[in-house]
Chains A and B, each alone.
Chain A
């Protein structure tokens, strides 16, 4: 599991998902402010 290619794949995937979830949280907050 020390293979950097494997680590890079998993980290990239989890970071991208976390980033998308973060954008949804931000949109939720913005929608609450606007309403």
Chain B
């Protein structure tokens, strides 16, 4: 509980500081004011990758150890990842509309692969809801989480593999193709959003643990087999 509040406190301060940096960074020579969206678009995209990557790690760790906490961590991470993927798509569409004059293009590799990743993880959440047995749910979602995470490098490198509308990475090992203030703004927001992810992960994992404990204790798990009683047939009827 204390860890959650500490992380939320740090994330809130960091996000406020990050927002102030987004206001201070210079407007881009080509894109103008709309380039400030980088301070929110890149952190949300990064968190989508981090969240889905960790979903796979926690899921595989569950397959190896069968510790329920790892399954809860995987589920919480996937849920938060879906939220941040949606935000990456929305902020990207707003930025695209301002820069390219078009909000969406199915012909763009980054846009299409991100949308595909978003739908796969919506499926992951649906699969968890559709499986009442805890062990079966953990096993099925761990496998889907591991397979789904293969999309993370695909989405990340899609801009290099298929040169379409979306620009390539702005930060590479050989340097960043942006002014220092823009890079600082992006990194401050990236750090703050990562703290936010950790706070949400701790909170949601705790809730999932309580949910499962409560459901197991009171047998509230949806199970048609226990509710449906076979009819008693009378002889001659």
Contacts and interface: CB of A to CB of B under 8 A. Distances in A.
A34 B90 CA distance: 36
Contacts of A5: 33-34, 37, 94-95, 97-98
Contact of A12 (B80, B87, B196): B87
B87 A24 contact: no
Contact of B94 (A2, A9, A21): A9
Interface string A1-35: 11101101110111011001100100110010011
B186 interface: no
A15 B86 CA distance: 13
B41 interface: yes
Given A1-B23, A31-B207, A35-B214, A6 B83 contact: no
A24 B40 CA distance: 22
Contacts of B41: 9
A3 B34 contact: yes
A6 B207 contact: no
B22 interface: yes
Contacts of A1: 23, 33, 36
Contact of A6 (B34, B44, B200, B203): B34
Contacts of B203: 24
A9 B90 CA distance: 8
B91 A12 contact: yes
Nearest to B23: A1
A24 B207 contact: yes
A3 to B, nearest CB: 4
Contact of B87 (A8, A13, A28): A13
Nearest to B90: A12
Given A3-B33, A24-B207, A9 B91 contact: yes
A27 to B, nearest CB: 6
Contact of A31 (B83, B196, B214): B214
A14 B193 CA distance: 11
B33 A6 contact: yes
Contacts of B181: none
Nearest to B80: A20
A33 B26 CA distance: 50
Interface of A: 1-3, 5-6, 8-10, 12-14, 16-17, 20-21, 24, 27-28, 31, 34-35
Given A12-B90, A13-B90, 13 more contacts: A1-B23, A2-B33, A3-B32, A10-B19, A12-B91, A13-B44, A16-B83, A20-B200, A24-B203, A27-B207, A28-B207, A31-B211, A34-B214
